[in-house]
Amino acid sequence: MPELPEVETVRRTLEHLVLGKRIDRVTILYEKIIQTDLLDFEKINGQVIHEIKRMGKHLIFMLDHDVLLIHLRMEGRFFYKKEHQEIKKHEHVIIHFSDHDILTYHDVRKFGTMHLIPKDKYLDEGPLKLLGPEPSSLTEDELYHKVHIRKTEIKAILLDQHVISGLGNIYVDETLFRAKIHPTRKGNELSLEEVTRILYAAREVLLKAISLGGTTIRTFEAMDGVHGRFQNELLVHTKEGEPCPVCGNLIIKMKVKGRGTYVCETCQI
C-alpha cells in the first residue's frame, strides 16, 4: 500500500508532468472511483492544474475553482502518455489535457477515490475534515496528549489517521523499533519522554523514506518506472527470523489489531 513517502514521490513526479495543463475532459471507465457527493465531476472540464499538494496520503490538485482530491488506497497509480497510446486493463480514469497528453489512473483493486470539491470547502468537507497532523507539524506535548487519553496499543494509535496522519504499517514498525517501544504498549502508559522518542523517530523515518522515494514492496510502484529505495533501510519490517541490527536477537512477527507487526522484543520494551 502506498504510504506517505510513496505518495509524496508520486506528487513530486506529477508536478513535473502536469502543472499548468488544462483539463479538457475526463473519461470514467469505472464509476465507483469517482465520488460525486460534493460536486459534479463534469465541473472539472476546462480547469487548469496550478499546484499539487499533499496532506497525509491524499493528493490535492489545486485547480481554477475547485480541488481534485485523490486517494490511491491499496494499489492506485498513474501513467502519463499521449492520447493515441493504448489504454490498458485497470486504467479506470483518463484525464485528457488540451495538449493531447493524458494522465491515466490505474488501480487493480479499485479501492482508490477521487473527489471534486470547491476550493473554499476542501478542508472542512470531505475526506480531509478529520485528518490529523503529520509528525513534522506536531509538537511533543500535542502528541503526548493525543496518545495519553487512549488505552489501546501504541501501534493502533499511530495507524489512526485522525490522531497523526501519514504513518502506515511499514513506517509504524520502523518508528517503534527506532524509538525502542514495544507496539503493544498502551497509549495511557507511555511517558512524555517515550512519546517524544516516538515522534522524533517518526520524523526521521519519514524524512529518510521521502528522500529515497519511498518503499517498494510487492506490487507498489510510485509511478511509471520510479521505484522507492527505502526498503534497503528497513530495520525490522519484513525481517522475521533475521538478527536485530542492534542486539542480534531474532526479530519476530506478531499481529497487533490484525496487522502484521515486526518487533525485536529485546530492544523494544
Q: For residues 215 and 119, what is the distance between their CA atoms, to the nearest angstrom?
A: 32
| Known catalytic membership, residue 6 | no
- The answer to whether residue 235 forms part of the interface with Zn ion (CB under 5 A) is no
Max alpha carbon distance in the chain (Å)? 59
Nearer to Zn ion, 170 or 267 (CB): 267
Among 39, 244, 256, 263, binds Zn ion (CB under 5 A): 244
Sequence-ordered list of residues with C-beta below 8 angstroms from that of 182, at least 6 positions apart, any chain: 176, 263, 265, 268, 269
Cβ at position 266, least distance to Zn ion in Å: 4
> If binding is defined by CB under 5 A, does position 34 make contact with Zn ion?
no
180 part of the active site:
no
Which one of 10-18, 68-76, 239-247, 254-262 is the stretch in contact with Zn ion (CB under 5 A)? Answer: 239-247
- Asked if 267 interacts with Zn ion (CB under 5 A), we say yes
- Residue by residue, DSSP assigns 169-215 as HHHHHHHHHHHT--TTSBGGG--HHHHHHHHHHHHHHHHHHHHTT--
- Using CB under 5 A, pick the residue from 19, 34, 246, 252 that binds Zn ion: 246
| Shortest distance in whole angstroms from residue 119 CB to Zn ion | 49
2 is catalytic: yes
Residue 247 interacting with Zn ion (CB under 5 A) = yes
Cα–Cα distance between 153 and 203 in angstroms, integer?
20
269 binds Zn ion (CB under 5 A): no
Q: Does 250 bind Zn ion (CB under 5 A)?
A: no
Is there a catalytic annotation at residue 57? Answer: yes
Identify which of residues 118 and 243 has a Cβ nearer to Zn ion in the complex.
243
Q: Taking the CB of residue 242, how many other CB atoms lie within 10 A of it? A: 12
181 binds Zn ion (CB under 5 A): no
How far, in Å, are 56, 156, 172 from residue 260 at the CA level? Answer: 22, 12, 11
CA-to-CA distance for 213 and 230, rounded, in angstroms?
A: 7
Q: Which residues are CB-contacts of 184 (< 8 A; sequence separation ≥ 6)?
A: 153, 154, 155, 256
* Minimum CB distance to Zn ion smaller for 256 or for 267: 267
- 3-state class of 75 per DSSP? coil
Mark 154-166 as b/e (b = at least 16 C-beta within 10 Å). Answer: bbbbbbebebbbb
Of positions 103, 167, 181, 264, contacts Zn ion by CB under 5 A: 264
The closest residue (CB) to Zn ion is: 244
Q: Among positive and negative, which fits the CA dihedral 222, 225, 228, 232?
A: positive
Question: Which one of 9-17, 118-126, 135-143, 236-244 is the stretch in contact with Zn ion (CB under 5 A)?
Answer: 236-244
Among 161, 216, 231, 266, binds Zn ion (CB under 5 A): 266
Sites of contact with Zn ion (CB under 5 A): 244, 246-247, 264, 266-267
Q: Which residues are catalytic?
A: 2-3, 57, 259
